[in-house]
Amino acid sequence: IWEKYGSDSCNIGDDGGFAPNISSITEGLDLVIAAIDRAGYNGRIKLAIDAAATDFCVGKKYDLEFKSAKKSGQNFKTGDDMIEIYSQLCSEYPLVSIEQPFDKDDWEHSKKFTTLELCQGCGRRLTDVRS
């Protein structure tokens, strides 16, 4: 990662997770998989992501351009769209857990995703009584 993107790319998020300045979730997961392969641990490590969906939920839709300075306004997804995105990620990568895949108030899609049993969907704000 350092070789490809420079030292500023090795950012760590609030919870200590990998947080590089990249353009897509798949780019980040591909980088992690490449690092795992390079270290000789291919097939021996599973991944988890913190989607933090409450941070990019606007009304009942999810703004996938929430960090972009140049928003097109065309990248809002429904809860069902997010389920499809997460399903695809779970089938393409060794994901075992997604933290906060939906807004803290989106019980409908949290339940729907959980029943698919693709990977663990865990809440932070969804299950936190203080939120």
Asked if 33 and 53 sit in the same domain, the reply is no
Residue 19, classed as helix, strand or coil, is: coil
The answer to whether 22 touches 14, Cβ cutoff 8 Å, is no
Domain count of the chain? 2
Give the pLDDT confidence of 26-47 residue by residue, as tens digits: 998 998 899 899 999 999 999 9
Name the residue among 53, 44, 49, 43 with its Cα closest to residue 120.
49
Residue 96, classed as helix, strand or coil, is: strand
Asked if 63 and 82 sit in the same domain, the reply is yes
Asked if 67 and 102 sit in the same domain, the reply is yes
Q: What torsion do the CA atoms of 96, 99, 105, 108 make, to the nearest 10 degrees?
A: -10
For residue 21, the model assigns a pLDDT of: 73
Asked if 107 and 59 sit in the same domain, the reply is yes
Give the pLDDT confidence of 90-115 residue by residue, as tens digits: 999 999 999 999 999 999 999 999 99
> CA-to-CA distance for 38 and 35, rounded, in angstroms?
5
| C-alpha distances in Å from residue 118, one per residue of 23, 89, 115 | 25, 10, 8
Domain of residue 8, residue span: 1-43
For residue 28, the model assigns a pLDDT of: 87
